[in-house]
Structure 1
């Protein structure tokens, strides 16, 4: 059976026509799903009985099941461990801000990028998520919260640009007026730097925010923690970033996980500032999440502040990411991995 969440409006209208049904029924169904949060065809009271029978025979609304849920006592961050229709597990995190609810969602089950500071990549990748499975994380979260999600970050398990076609379809779908109608400027996509796909994304001319997981000011340091650096140099990556800025006129965020004694010195800060000079960007410094499988340690607060001050003195806008949900292992991959270990 096909997951109706994988359909665009046009695709569902074609399906309706193939069944001899009027195309306007597609909008009615999407209204039930995306606006009313109804995930059962039988509860869609303005649909003919014969159509409901046909929908139940051929389509399904695949919403994940909540396997576990943790709420931070520090900041009300909520972490969901979700089970998909095939039993695979994914994670999503809802962060509450004064300006609305943000959700960090997964795009793959696991990840094959191999970044050494990330728990979600330790066991490799199982499979890609479909566009419907990506959007279903938001639908489930809204259903549990009883509140609207207004901002999206594609920074959970998986590399979004390694699942390019499904992620691209999701971006158009979640922005559509008949769907969740979340503005592109409220969406951030984080990538470790698959250069050709950054160029392809730029050509889509979307208004999303592109975040680059850089984490090093040179190829030597980057190759020690990010295998993708063996395929694409920082020079090639920055070339794609400049192309993205030129095409979209959108500022790029560079994420930089500060690891004690590895990439957090003033020397690295000065090198990074030279690297990014003149580019429309800002740097988001991230105190690295410590995971038991790796020996990376979080930078000292003094070093974090000095790194920030150095970048700002060189004219690079810099922020330090607020740590949210640290008491519930809110970093991607940690909950899924611990659950699998415990139940294996």
Structure 2
């Protein structure tokens, strides 16, 4: 809002026009300057010359058999595609957004990293996912999860701007306590985020209580050790007073035995946290396989008996490739994608537009 007000002032327009435009965008879901009826034609011309509204095009929509999960494949103006997921719960609708096209973190359990990272998404492109997803389901989005394709803290500035926009009163007014950001553990950025004085929930993709196992499945472990991540988490908790969530994807024979559970208990002892156990997603490019139901339950029981708050993530949308990166990868392998490349889509690198988004 403030950026747009300043632009109005610099371009000899009344600052209150910014509020009118923002209202069209977020309250009335009108994403065409020509349809903003209380905006003069001269100002409309200026807006079209200097800005564009980045609402992604819907390529495909999938609905789970249980009708509680929707997966959207979106295409941006440069031809790049990303995924967004909406999950319906009793407490409201949650949207899982992507923050990058692809990902460079290389985690073995994640399909979005298979082909590497193409580019960052702008704050507007991330917010556009929420707006379009809300329009598609026809219901208010009340919770946001930054857990789709990409590492949010690897796109720090755009993600921070998105967090402030999506939670603002003039926008979607989604409370920061209803926003979760998931990171594989970029230590300096965790501490920087703590200093922003936000009230979001931080989720750490831990997946191992020690560096030896973690390095086998998460390349980031070669740069930041588990003790360094835990130290950064303590800093975050002390600065924000917010409980941290640790994500732990259970892979058969890798990190799902009771010794791992005992080590995890010792690692997290005394920390204000919650552990979210996740049956690992099977990605055909690697050997990781989902733990047995009995192993998952034993792991849960061990943590619970020792005083850790723990849940087992409910699997949603498995019948529509709702796990991160799977749908995009399938699309990239399709004939439709290859035809788009032949028609001139720039799907490798996007030169950033000189216009302000």
Aligned match for 1:302, one of 278, 294, 299:
294
CA distance in structure 2 between the aligned counterparts of 1:37 and 1:118, rounded to whole angstroms: 33
- Map Cα deviations across residues 139-193 of structure 1 (whole Å, 9 max, x no partner): 1111212211110000000000000111011111111111111110000000000
The alpha carbon displacement at 1:76 in A equals 2.5
Alignment of 1:253 with 2:241, yes or no, is no
Alignment of 1:263-342 (within 5 A): 263-342=255-334
CA distance in structure 2 between the aligned counterparts of 1:34 and 1:294, rounded to whole angstroms: 42
Q: Which 4+ runs in 1 deviate beyond 3 A?
A: none
The alpha carbon displacement at 1:74 in A equals 2.2
CA distance in structure 2 between the aligned counterparts of 1:106 and 1:116, rounded to whole angstroms: 18
TM-score (norm. length: structure 2): 0.93
What residue in structure 2 maps to residue 58 of structure 1? 50
Alignment check: 8 A CA contact 1:154 1:190 kept: yes
Report the number of matched residues.
Answer: 336
Alignment check: 8 A CA contact 1:273 1:316 kept: yes
CA distance in structure 1 between the aligned counterparts of 2:137 and 2:18, rounded to whole angstroms: 26
CA distance in structure 1 between the aligned counterparts of 2:190 and 2:35, rounded to whole angstroms: 42
CA distance in structure 2 between the aligned counterparts of 1:92 and 1:144, rounded to whole angstroms: 11
CA distance in structure 2 between the aligned counterparts of 1:179 and 1:74, rounded to whole angstroms: 31
What residue in structure 2 maps to residue 240 of structure 1? 232
Alignment of 1:203 with 2:195, yes or no, is yes
Alignment check: 8 A CA contact 2:256 2:296 kept: yes
Alignment check: 8 A CA contact 1:74 1:327 kept: no
The alpha carbon displacement at 1:59 in A equals 1.4
Alignment check: 8 A CA contact 1:75 1:324 kept: no
- Name the stretch that deviates more: 52-61 or 279-288: 52-61
SS of structure 2 residue aligned to 1:101:
strand
SS of structure 1 residue aligned to 2:333:
helix
* Pair 295,75 (structure 1): closer, same or farther in 2 beyond 3 Å: farther
- Map Cα deviations across residues 211-241 of structure 1 (whole Å, 9 max, x no partner): 0000001100000000000000000000000
Aligned match for 2:102, one of 110, 118, 135:
110
CA distance in structure 2 between the aligned counterparts of 1:274 and 1:38, rounded to whole angstroms: 52
What residue in structure 1 maps to residue 166 of structure 2? 174
Alignment check: 8 A CA contact 2:73 2:83 kept: yes
CA distance in structure 2 between the aligned counterparts of 1:141 and 1:282, rounded to whole angstroms: 29
What residue in structure 1 maps to residue 19 of structure 2? 27
Where in structure 1 are there 5+ consecutive unaligned residues?
1-8
CA distance in structure 1 between the aligned counterparts of 2:40 and 2:140, rounded to whole angstroms: 29
Alignment check: 8 A CA contact 2:68 2:89 kept: no
CA distance in structure 2 between the aligned counterparts of 1:313 and 1:274, rounded to whole angstroms: 13
Alignment of 1:39 with 2:31, yes or no, is yes
